A and B are shown apart, each in its own frame.
Chain A
Amino acid sequence: MSNHIEYEPVIGLEVHIQLSTVSKIFCGCRARFGSEANAQVCPVCLGLPGALPVLNRKAVDYAARLALATGCEINPRSVFARKNYFYPDLPKGYQISQFEQPFCENGMITVETASGGKRPVRIRRIHLEEDAGKSMHQEAYVGDDESLVDLNRCGVPLLELVTEPDLTAPEEAAAFLAYLRQLVRYLEICDGNMEEGSLRCDANISVRVRGTFGLGTKTELKNMNSFRHVERALAFEYERQCALLTAGQAVQQETLLWDANRNIATPMRSKEFAHDYRYFPEPDLLPVEIETNWIEAQRRDLPELPQAKKVRYQEAFFLPAYDAAVLTEDADVAHYYEQVADRVDDKKLASNWVMGEVLRACKERGEGVTDLKMTPALLADLLGMLTRSEINSGMAKQIFEQVLQTGKSPHDLVAEGGLSQIDDHDSLQSVIQTVLQAQQKDVSAYLQGNEKVLGFLMGLVMKATSGRANPRTVTSLLREELAQLKNRL
């Protein structure tokens, strides 16, 4: 990727995680969108004179889940603080956030890199805060001399997660974000949709001579709205910094905005980020006091995390690492798989079908795995019939499609549609004889030693029986028949 092999990047991330609570963090307004602009607001999130915030306990529960899942220490007392700055999408003129005493600190996420290595990334802190509204400047419906503000998003709960600068490649940053997205989905605290802003990532990057430990001057990257763009922006900035250093120039500490259309990062005007936020403790809210018992209860309620699940699939189901990774990517898929695997002996067969047919069906139909009419129980029935050779795999796929359409059980479908397997020697023999008579040329090729023709002939027999013939029986009968022809020569 780079011509600057002597330099290594040092990367830290700041991720905003929009929590999927029903209501906002400091008022009762709905936190999920759907209404028209400025309809999901009240005196509190509008910052009207006299209105006061009240903390949504659910947001604290969600914060605790992520804290525990990342091994952070939850502070027994954390404090909200006001972050002061002026902007039209911030109606109070300050954001309620946390500063000196964040919700939790000192965690760790271990990322698996593409090369199969493991990269431990320290989590410096995770804190709770409120989201701001949305400013509209360039949309088609906004006039040249105006800006519009939608305050529906004001007060939606956010977690801000800050890592130490422990990532050493743009790909690792992307892998970190992919894991974080998987984690927040497992924890059911965020939908993880980066394009829609549910996960927002800023990055800081510096470079240093490979093998040294000092930190160079860092720059901050903003405005990346997908994993791909985070990776690209970091790769761009790495190259830029290396080029500067190679040319004997210094890196300026500054904030850069990623331009996804031009694939370049350009500096923000210095005025736009020269803030003194003048943080101080929020006097309208009491400190968040957390008891050890409560933390333990939250810990017990934590679901199995994706990395642990992946290991378990390899150890308990003897699945290859690849299968385990695909099946555990999404918590719903993993749950689906486990329900199938509970009912069938061949765990790998179950894995093949879930990774293959089930995920393909989801993709084609645009449905979640829990929406499919092919339930785990029905799939287990189907796989049972397949294992017992009551149907062949071609039939199984046909039945799979029919179950998807109708939700009927595979047994019923087989009984109704005469789809059961033909295993009866007499009828199969007559089909085989018909096929062989029609294919004299291929038969002679076989008899002259071209064994490959067998598969072709086999396919014709299957076709003639609409795939219902038992392939094993057909193979042995076909061999017998051809052997007799050979003997007659």
Chain B
Amino acid sequence: MIHSFTDLQSIQGKLAAGATSCAELTEYYLDRIHEGAHLNAFISLFAERARAQAVEIDGKQKKGTAGRLAGMIMAIKDNMVLDYGATTCGSHILEHFQSPYTATVLKKLAAEDAIFIGKTNMDEFAMGSSTENSAFGLVRNPLDNDRVPGGSSGGSAVAVAADFCTAALGSDTGGSIRQPASFCGVIGLKPTYGRVSRYGLVAFASSLDQIGPLTRSVDDAALLMNVLAGRDPGDSTSAAVDVPDFCADLDKPLKGLRIGIPQEYYGEGLDETVRQALQKTSEFLRDMQAIPVPVSLPHTEYSIATYYILANAEASANLARYDGAHYGARADAARSLEEMYVQTRSQAFGAEVKRRIMLGTYVLSSGYYEAYYAKAQQVRTRLRDDFDGAWQHCDLLLTPTCPTTAFRIGEKASDPLTMYLSDVYTVSVNLTGLPALSIPCGQDPQGLPIGAQLIGQPFAEGTLLRVAKQLQLHHAPTRQVLRLEER
């Protein structure tokens, strides 16, 4: 277990000293994945390819030509396309889909010598908060196998928490990086909308989707952001904003930082243990000479409804391309074009995806557009105004990531509305495009991790990472290695 729970910084130290190799690391993670197969974190593995890349990068390491991410073995959520293997999005409709091209972020990572060990399980098309909606079976929380890991990037969060990789990529449309990070006790960052290219991320809701890292250390998250961030001419919505060195200010003291505490995020429905953990976190930050400030985000109560209108509206169009005509699954019993569409989509999409396509189609329909879609866009503007108001008083916000710790498998699966409500603290950030990070800040009496969410001003990921670094160092250090017997 020499590698257990190490971060890239220590791995690279060992690589430089000749104490380990990428080949050895790859074998270590492959063994861990095998050992933890019952968690069902992966949809596909690239064992042979990863081994070959490891040998190649070890060679570069000797010559001193290895990239910035040499030694980083990564798990990739299966909604980012690679020109090898399948990209399934957790759906039968793309079960055998092979992309002819590679996502921008994966090209960037590969160019810095990251190794992709496999593609992780996820809620179908990233629609879900528990990773119970995958066509390839549900994912289990490594800390309690009867509980969900959160979702939709459940497989990526588990892969990081269970030490199946050094770090993982997830995507976050309404909390899909942060919520599973919170449930699994790892760090998850959703960057500012436009900070990271979406080219090659299979779209769920285009105006909300953003790719980000899941890691065990804040330093790794910062280093990954250095590689991931930046304008991509292939993504019109990627921002032409300078990319700072996210590692540079990590250790800067927090003195004088104003930490907003939005009252609406601490109201009804918040689990008492979670509230107490956040209280302690706030007190810790005050001890670090940051200044907690009460603020208000008055339109918060509308965020869930707004989110599920806009996200599903966009999804209904984004998922129209899976029609059996060009690629992916096709119902073979169809006798007409219309039958082909109806049968293919009825058979190959799961229940949650169909529910959201129906909702999204409905809110865009003639006669309903104004009442739902147009109204939701207006609320979105109000939410933005709320945050702009808050930034007059503070530099970042501290909130719980989720109202509760990880819930039991099946507990909410039959009640979509309750499931949607668990996203209450995460969706506003997507609607407003802001960056946010979830970091462990304590445990509940069952030992389940509690996540604190830091919400930043546009493109201020650096501030979030800086605060997170202090929390990780002094407040809630990362857990020790996790044993993988069934729990």
Contact = CB atoms under 8 A, between A and B. Distances in A.
Interface of A: 43, 46-55, 82, 84, 86, 88, 91-94, 147, 149, 276, 278-280, 283-286
21 contacts: A43-B99, A43-B101, A48-B81, A48-B100, A48-B101, A50-B103, A50-B203, A84-B316, A84-B320, A86-B323, A88-B337, A91-B326, A92-B320, A93-B317, A93-B319, A147-B337, A149-B325, A283-B206, A283-B237, A284-B206, A284-B237
B317 A84 contact: yes
A53 B200 contact: no
B235 A52 contact: yes
Q: Looking at B97, B233, B314, which has the most chain A CB atoms within 10 Å of its CB?
A: B314
Interface string B292-319: 0000000000000000000001101101
B100 A55 contact: no
A151 to B, nearest CB: 8
B50 interface: no
Contacts of B313: 280
B207 interface: yes
A149 B89 CA distance: 26
Contact of A52 (B234, B314, B366): B234
Nearest to A88: B325
Contact of A49 (B87, B341, B364, B366): B87
Chain A contact residues, majority secondary structure: loop
Contacts of A93: 317, 319-321, 323
A92 B202 CA distance: 12
Interface in B350-393: 361, 364-366, 369, 373
B201 interface: yes
Contact of B236 (A51, A52, A86): A52
Contact of A91 (B87, B89, B319, B321): B321
Given A86-B341, A278-B366, A284-B206, A51 B199 contact: yes
B321 A278 contact: no
A277 to B, nearest CB: 8
A52 B201 CA distance: 9
Contacts of B201: 50
A48 B81 CA distance: 10
A403 B247 CA distance: 76
Chain B contact residues, majority secondary structure: loop
Contacts of B320: 84, 86, 92-94
A91 B236 contact: no
Q: Looking at A82, A149, A283, which has the most chain B CB atoms within 10 Å of its CB?
A: A283
A51 to B, nearest CB: 7
Contacts, number: 101
Given A86-B320, A88-B337, A91-B325, A50 B200 contact: yes
A42 to B, nearest CB: 8
B91 to A, nearest CB: 10
B198 interface: yes
Contacts of A86: 320, 323, 341
A49 B203 CA distance: 7
B30 interface: no
A283 B203 CA distance: 11
A49 B97 contact: yes
Nearest to B207: A283
Contact of B314 (A49, A53, A276, A283): A283
Given A49-B87, A50-B199, A280-B369, A285 B236 contact: yes
Q: Looking at A48, A88, A94, which has the most chain B CB atoms within 10 Å of its CB?
A: A48
A205 B177 CA distance: 55
Contacts of B81: 48-50
B22 interface: no
A278 B87 CA distance: 29
Interface in B147-203: 198-203
Nearest to B233: A54
A53 B206 CA distance: 12
A276 B326 contact: no
A147 B325 CA distance: 11
B361 A278 contact: yes
A286 B361 CA distance: 23
A82 B369 CA distance: 14
A284 B236 contact: yes
B214 interface: no
Nearest to A92: B321
Nearest to A53: B236
B94 interface: yes
Contacts of A149: 325
Contacts of B323: 86, 93
A147 B101 CA distance: 27
Contacts of B316: 84, 278
B360 to A, nearest CB: 9
Contacts of A286: 236-237
B396 interface: no
Nearest to A147: B337
Nearest to A43: B101
B365 A52 contact: no
Contacts of B207: 283
Interface in B203-255: 203, 205-207, 233-237
Q: Looking at A46, A50, A82, A286, which has the most chain B CB atoms within 10 Å of its CB?
A: A50
A43 B326 contact: no
Interface string B86-102: 01010000100101110
Contacts of B327: 48
B236 A43 contact: no
Contacts of A51: 101, 199-200
A49 B201 CA distance: 8
Nearest to A145: B335
A54 B235 CA distance: 7
A86 B89 CA distance: 22
A60 to B, nearest CB: 13
Contacts of A46: 326
Contacts of A55: 236
Given A50-B99, A51-B101, A278-B366, 19 more contacts: A43-B101, A46-B326, A48-B81, A48-B100, A48-B327, A49-B97, A49-B321, A50-B79, A50-B80, A52-B198, A84-B317, A88-B337, A92-B321, A93-B319, A276-B365, A278-B365, A280-B317, A284-B203, A286-B236
A149 B314 CA distance: 26
Contacts of B317: 82, 84, 93-94, 278, 280
Nearest to B102: A50
**Lowest 8 A-B CB distances belong to which pairs?**
A93-B320, A283-B207, A278-B364, A283-B206, A50-B200, A49-B202, A88-B325, A50-B81
A52 B200 CA distance: 8
B57 to A, nearest CB: 26
Nearest to B324: A88
Contacts of B206: 283-284
B149 to A, nearest CB: 24
A284 B202 CA distance: 12
A52 B199 CA distance: 6
Interface in B44-89: 79-81, 87, 89
Contacts of B314: 280, 283
A54 B234 contact: yes
Interface in B92-122: 94, 97, 99-101, 103
Contacts of B366: 276, 278
Interface in B334-354: 337, 341
A54 B366 CA distance: 28
B256 to A, nearest CB: 36
A283 B326 CA distance: 23
Contact of A280 (B203, B233, B236, B373): B373
Contacts of B199: 50-52
Contacts of B235: 52, 54
A375 B320 CA distance: 56
B99 to A, nearest CB: 7
A57 to B, nearest CB: 12
Contacts of B321: 47, 49, 91-93
